[in-house]
Structure 1
Amino acid sequence: MATLGLSEADKAAIEAFRQDVVEPSRTQLVIVDFWAEWCGPCKQLTPIIEKVCADYAAKGVKLVKVNVDENGFIASQFRVQSIPTVYAVFQGQPVADLTQARTEGALKQYLDQLLSQLPIESEEKSQAQEIAPLIAMGEELLAEGDAERALSVFTQIAQMVPDMVEVVAGQARALVMLGQLDEAEALLAALPAEIARHGPVDQARAAIALARDVKPLADLSAVEAKVAADPDDHEARFELAGGLMANGDRDGAADALLEIVRRDRTWNEGAARAQLVTIFEAVGLEDPWVSAQRRKLSQILFA
């Protein structure tokens, strides 16, 4: 902004704007709220903006309020014709007009979209980058079947970042592997509602459901003999699948369930297919093993 010919008050306002908005916007998303004391709609919108920006502070969002009666020159530079007017500023430039976001949900939707598109630096991103290797370590321990060490790792991370879905879900899955199903359920039940339906939490819930469903069998020979004697004994094959899964043989369990679907996809109201879906969710829908099994299922269903 050029300052030639401006009053000292305008020059001071420009310098304050530079310090409060322009400089922080180099790395943060600055929400600029143009308002005035006499503006009724401003009084309605202000609490919403203040609450959402406070909630998003760790994500790299900062709120700056500009009184148009005291900062007329600044308002004119932004071509403010009515108030409230709300802009999102990044790297010194307006990147979005948020004036029409009059509800908490609408404003959060706008901010989520902007934050996903812009290289905003934030405490949340820095923290996520720091703990990513620790989460990977916990997941590796789970994959190796070392539930006790995995639980220890995820619990330590949870002390740093409470309510992070990937971490709580990792704790729950470790508890499932240790046979502590009630404790795993209680952990997930304590999550805030807004994050309780994320993918990692669904995966942990599926692992709990599967663990309650399947029963370990010390000796599978008897049920294997029943299946061999009558390949259409789907109840026995379903029992065999549960025993195999409980004993850690997910390949064998999937093969048994796929065979039931191949022979009679409607058996027991589609129980075999439903159990396959639960296994897929418990393992993780992005897992290569799940992708391979889903292809097999599709080939059977659409053959």
Structure 2
Amino acid sequence: MIDVTVATFEAEVIAASMQTPVLVDFWAPWCGPCKTLGPILEKLETDYAGRFKLVKIDTEQEQELAGMFGIRSIPTCVLMVGGQPVDGFMGAQPESEVRAFLDKHLPSVDEVQAEQEQDEALDALADGDTDAALERLQHAVATDPANDDARFDYVKLLLQLGHSDDARVAFAPVIAKAAGSLRLGALKTWMDAQDASDAAGGDALAGFDAAIAANKRDFTARYGRARWLMAQQRWTDAMDELLEILMRDKGWSEDAARKTYIAVLEIIEPPRVQVAEGQIPPQDPVVASYRRRLSSVVLS
């Protein structure tokens, strides 16, 4: 539990809620119900073991903050998530009611554990330890099967390492979501490219090159070549080939070239990093360059 003032509000509430939900308890020393609710909140902060952060604001001392939230009676509790108030309650609620309120909004224990495993996996990848990263991601998906971000990272790493069969097994539970998810759809596009490459055979590249040399507008051959390059994880080469199609026919085959290009960008996008509020995450120069090239071709 932390006492918050105007000076510390930005760091202890706004910025902190970007990482962990923050429950703000507006109270005053003279308030009898506040003295009843306070110990309950402190007990629950301990019980929930880091799933939320409790802060207290003395409305007598911090009238500016109380006015900012429109506090009319105390105790009033406001839950902050992502820098914004998402819900709250007034009055000295019993512990069971406060638990129900928290459980409605807070991530479950499994979700928190899965997110921790995912973060550790990304740290391991940054250190070049793919075995540890794979193990952590496998645990994250097993702990919280609904965590599509962890599953994306897990399936992507399996494909990068050449474990295609394992990747397909891990992807199967979310395959129905692929059509409505940019990230999951990108994985399906990659696996479809692998299937197409396998079906084309080992000498496919020579055949594609010959067809393109004979007819630069043979978009079927160019698309087949791009998918073969995707299967080999030659990402920039694949996008260069897709751009050749887009420069000649932007809408070819129901926009297949553009959609596949975007899928490649999603695959090669580095893991998302947390930044302070108001800051712009750093961009990968390759991804940024190819996004600009796509925009230039599509909008020309």
Question: TM-score, normalised on structure 1?
Answer: 0.54
| Structure 2 residues without counterparts, runs of 5 or longer | 1-27, 55-70, 80-84, 91-100, 273-282
In the alignment, the residues of structure 2 paired with residue 218 and residue 128 of structure 1 have an alpha-carbon distance, to the nearest angstrom, of 40
In the alignment, the residues of structure 2 paired with residue 283 and residue 248 of structure 1 have an alpha-carbon distance, to the nearest angstrom, of 10
The amino acid that maps onto 1:207 is L
Q: State the number of aligned residues.
A: 219
Aligned mate of 2:153, from 160, 167, 170: 170
Corresponding residue SS for 2:217? coil
1:111 Cα offset (Å): 6.2
Match of 1:268 in 2: 253
Aligned mate of 2:226, from 241, 252, 264: 241
Larger displacement relative to structure 2 (263-272 or 161-170): 161-170
Corresponding residue SS for 2:77? strand
Distance 1:188 1:130, change over 3 A: closer
Q: Which string of whole-angstrom CA distances, capped at 9 and with x for unpartnered residues, describes residues 87-144 of structure 1? A: 3158xxxx998469xxxxxx89x968xx9xxxxxx99779856762333324776xx9
Match of 2:77 in 1: 88
Q: Is the 8 A contact 1:135 1:167 kept in 2?
A: no
Distance 1:166 1:139, change over 3 A: farther
In the alignment, the residues of structure 2 paired with residue 96 and residue 172 of structure 1 have an alpha-carbon distance, to the nearest angstrom, of 33
Corresponding residue SS for 2:164? coil
In the alignment, the residues of structure 1 paired with residue 192 and residue 172 of structure 2 have an alpha-carbon distance, to the nearest angstrom, of 15
Match of 1:154 in 2: 137
The amino acid that maps onto 1:169 is F
Moved over 4 A (4+): 122-131, 138-141, 157-163
Alignment RMSD, CA only? 4.7
Match of 2:40 in 1: 20
1:280 Cα offset (Å): 2.2
| Structure 1 residues without counterparts, runs of 5 or longer | 4-9, 29-53, 63-77, 101-106, 116-121, 191-195
The amino acid that maps onto 2:51 is K
Q: Is the 8 A contact 1:203 1:284 kept in 2?
A: no
In the alignment, the residues of structure 1 paired with residue 87 and residue 121 of structure 2 have an alpha-carbon distance, to the nearest angstrom, of 39
Q: Is the 8 A contact 2:217 2:248 kept in 1?
A: yes
Establish whether residue 218 from structure 1 lines up as the match of residue 202 from structure 2.
yes
Identity of aligned residues (%): 22
Match of 1:207 in 2: 187
Give the greater-gyration-radius structure (CA): 1
In the alignment, the residues of structure 2 paired with residue 168 and residue 232 of structure 1 have an alpha-carbon distance, to the nearest angstrom, of 38
Q: Is the 8 A contact 1:158 1:168 kept in 2?
A: yes
Aligned mate of 1:293, from 290, 293, 296: 290
